[in-house]
């Protein structure tokens, strides 16, 4: 029975008031991470180990066994990308190029400037930013072609200054990823493309094979095999946030358009039967209208079977007592995509710092961010936004710090450094600091006596600054 007391026209996994949720319903909504499947973990470990030991031979064998294709080569040459780009629908090409420009602009704006900081007189330090040498970008295949995922991984890496950007994507029946993926590699600026999918691709990028280069980071969305593969190679290479089935939570304020709310739920549900889609409102009449319109939208969508399965297993229509309860639920839910269709979305955003990305106002459909705005659509799911961030240019950069003390700055710190070193039982640390103290002997005479350095014990003054 739905919140209005009538029979629902569409099966929704959880439909009712937030305050009346059972522990099982709350767990279904808030604990969305899949349970560790021991058989999957074991199988992926076997794949990873076989790729480490056998290299290309293991990948070619898995292509025959898992993808039912005999690959003439793992690598797709750049000439094929260029052909695919030339043959692409001109309007689609224009859209891809527009998306790439927006991605580059927004991600370039996120590169942090160098830091140069003086903590005390004579004590300078800073932080420098450098790109990784090589990264791997996974572009999923299977149910559909995802050229947008190529852009989301490759463009930020190129913007960061990464020299080697290798893309892996599953082969189709002809032994290559879809033409749209090839074209996207050309638009985005990838350096190499391999027709390899699943956990084998992750392992190949992490450890290298005869053909596929070893990289320092592996990013991009994928199925549970890819996600488990990334988990197992984390530490060998950097990996991005866990990214599972798509999610959206719409917070619908009084006056929100129920058709737009319903359309957002259907749009994310069509990705995957395991997608999680939810709407929360504090206006009972609005929620009833959303429910009715959602049934209409589901009935007319071309991917109806997938959408119905997602809504029936992970969908939710929730009634809050007020705005505060709705926003508190959104914070705890920590969705991949948060849509704030309220009267004050910018203010409401402050209450939900756990979202992967937020869309403010009814004009801001998630679809725009999925493809064209310039923000990244590779985002944490299953509540991982409580701790992880979405993919960004920062995933392709590393930072190191530098420190420079002049003689006066060193002398001023010596006594406290010695005290701290003695407290930790590290006398050599104290000795190293004492040698910078004014008048402290630093050179040893042939007879074993220490003497001041040539030029006396006076400080030499501030060190000359270097660029």
Report the C-alpha gap between 5 and 385 in whole angstroms. Answer: 35
Dump pLDDT digits (tens) for 332-389. Answer: 999 999 999 999 999 999 999 999 999 999 999 999 999 999 999 999 999 999 999 9
Place of tokens 């695919």: 84
- Is residue 314 scored above 50 in pLDDT? yes
DSSP element (H, E) containing 130: strand 123-131
Please check whether residue 214 is in contact with residue 192, taking contact to mean a CB–CB distance below 8 angstroms. Answer: no
- Is residue 463 scored above 80 in pLDDT? no
* Residue 361: per-residue pLDDT: 98
Let me know if 271 is a catalytic residue. Answer: no
Per-residue confidence band for 214, with pLDDT thresholds at 50, 70 and 90? very high
Let me know if 336 is a catalytic residue. Answer: yes
- Is residue 452 scored above 90 in pLDDT? no
* Residue 445: per-residue pLDDT: 53
- Count of CB atoms within 10 A of residue 233's CB? 21
Strand partners, 136: 166, 218
Tell me what the mean pLDDT of segment 268-289 comes to: 96
Please check whether residue 360 is in contact with residue 346, taking contact to mean a CB–CB distance below 8 angstroms. Answer: yes
Burial class (CB in 10 A: 0-12, 13-18, 19+), 84: buried
- Is residue 9 scored above 80 in pLDDT? no
* Residue 451: per-residue pLDDT: 52
Domain 14-31+244-389 has CATH 3.40.50.1980: yes
Report the C-alpha gap between 111 and 392 in whole angstroms. Answer: 9
Query: Nearest to residue 243, comparing CAs of 49, 34, 427?
Result: 34
* Residue 456: per-residue pLDDT: 39
* Residue intervals in the chain for CATH 3.40.50.1980: 14-31+244-389, 38-240
User: Beta 164-168 vs 316-319: how paired, if at all?
Assistant: unpaired
Per-residue confidence band for 277, with pLDDT thresholds at 50, 70 and 90? very high
- Is residue 153 scored above 90 in pLDDT? yes
* Residue 454: per-residue pLDDT: 43
**Which CATH class name applies to 38-240?**
alpha beta
Per-residue confidence band for 421, with pLDDT thresholds at 50, 70 and 90? very high
Report the C-alpha gap between 283 and 106 in whole angstroms. Answer: 36
- Whether the model pTM is above 0.85: yes
- Is residue 81 scored above 80 in pLDDT? yes
Report the C-alpha gap between 399 and 47 in whole angstroms. Answer: 33
* Residue 460: per-residue pLDDT: 40
Report the C-alpha gap between 168 and 200 in whole angstroms. Answer: 10
Please check whether residue 323 is in contact with residue 281, taking contact to mean a CB–CB distance below 8 angstroms. Answer: no
Report the C-alpha gap between 110 and 392 in whole angstroms. Answer: 8
- Mean pLDDT, all residues of the chain: 92
Sheet holding 247-252, edge to edge: 14-17, 316-319, 276-281, 247-252, 337-341, 357-360
Please check whether residue 131 is in contact with residue 214, taking contact to mean a CB–CB distance below 8 angstroms. Answer: no
Dump pLDDT digits (tens) for 168-182. Answer: 999 998 899 999 999
* Residue 466: per-residue pLDDT: 40
Please check whether residue 226 is in contact with residue 138, taking contact to mean a CB–CB distance below 8 angstroms. Answer: yes
Spot the catalytic one: 107, 271, 337, 377.
337
* Residue 444: per-residue pLDDT: 52
* Residue 36: per-residue pLDDT: 73
Spot the catalytic one: 247, 308, 336, 362.
336
- Is residue 287 scored above 70 in pLDDT? yes
- Is residue 467 scored above 60 in pLDDT? no
- Is residue 448 scored above 60 in pLDDT? no
Report the C-alpha gap between 340 and 360 in whole angstroms. Answer: 5
- Is residue 465 scored above 60 in pLDDT? no
* Residue 37: per-residue pLDDT: 81
């Amino acid at each position: 029975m739905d919140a209005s007391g009538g029979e629902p026209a569409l099966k929704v996994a959880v439909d009712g008031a937030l305050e009346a949720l059972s522990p099982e319903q709350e767990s279904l909504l808030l604990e969305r991470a899949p349970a560790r499947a021991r058989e999957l973990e074991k199988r992926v470990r076997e794949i990873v180990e076989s790729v480490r030991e056998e290299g290309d031979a293991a990948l070619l064998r898995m292509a025959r066994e898992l993808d039912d294709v005999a690959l003439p080569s793992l690598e797709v040459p750049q000439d094929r990308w260029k052909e695919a780009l030339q043959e692409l629908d001109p309007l689609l090409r224009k859209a891809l190029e527009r998306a790439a420009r927006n991605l580059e602009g927004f991600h370039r704006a996120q590169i942090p400037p160098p830091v140069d900081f003086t903590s005390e007189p004579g004590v300078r330090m800073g932080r420098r930013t450098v790109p990784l040498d090589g990264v791997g970008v996974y572009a999923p295949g299977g149910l559909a072609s995802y050229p947008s995922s190529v852009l989301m991984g490759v463009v930020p890496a190129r913007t960061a200054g990464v020299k080697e950007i290798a893309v892996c994507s599953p082969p189709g029946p002809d032994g290559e990823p879809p033409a749209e993926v090839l074209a996207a590699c050309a638009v985005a600026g990838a350096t190499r493309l391999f027709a390899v999918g699943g956990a084998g691709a992750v392992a190949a990028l992490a450890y290298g094979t005869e053909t596929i280069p070893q990289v320092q980071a592996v990013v991009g969305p994928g199925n549970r095999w890819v996600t488990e593969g990334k988990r197992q190679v984390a530490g060998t290479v950097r990996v991005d946030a866990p990214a599972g089935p798509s999610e959206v939570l719409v917070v619908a304020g009084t006056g929100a358009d129920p058709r737009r709310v319903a359309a957002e739920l259907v749009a994310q549900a069509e990705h995957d039967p395991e997608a999680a889609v939810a709407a929360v409102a504090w206006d009972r009449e609005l929620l009833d209208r959303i429910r009715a319109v959602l049934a209409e939208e589901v009935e007319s969508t071309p991917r109806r079977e997938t959408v119905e399965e997602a809504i029936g297993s992970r969908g939710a229509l929730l009634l809050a007592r007020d705005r505060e309860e709705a926003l508190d639920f959104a914070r705890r839910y920590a969705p991949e995509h948060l849509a704030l269709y309220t009267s004050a979305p910018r203010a409401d955003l402050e209450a939900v710092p756990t979202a992967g990305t937020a869309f403010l106002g009814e004009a801001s459909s998630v679809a725009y961010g999925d493809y064209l705005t310039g923000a990244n659509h590779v985002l944490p799911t299953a509540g991982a936004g409580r701790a992880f961030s979405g993919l960004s240019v920062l995933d392709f950069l590393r930072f190191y710090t530098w420190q420079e003390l002049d003689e006066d700055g060193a002398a001023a710190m010596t006594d406290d450094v010695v005290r701290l070193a003695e407290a930790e039982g590290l006398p050599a640390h104290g000795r190293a600091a004492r040698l910078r103290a004014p008048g402290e002997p630093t050179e040893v005479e042939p007879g074993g006596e220490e003497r001041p350095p040539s030029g006396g014990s006076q400080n030499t003054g501030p060190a000359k600054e270097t660029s």
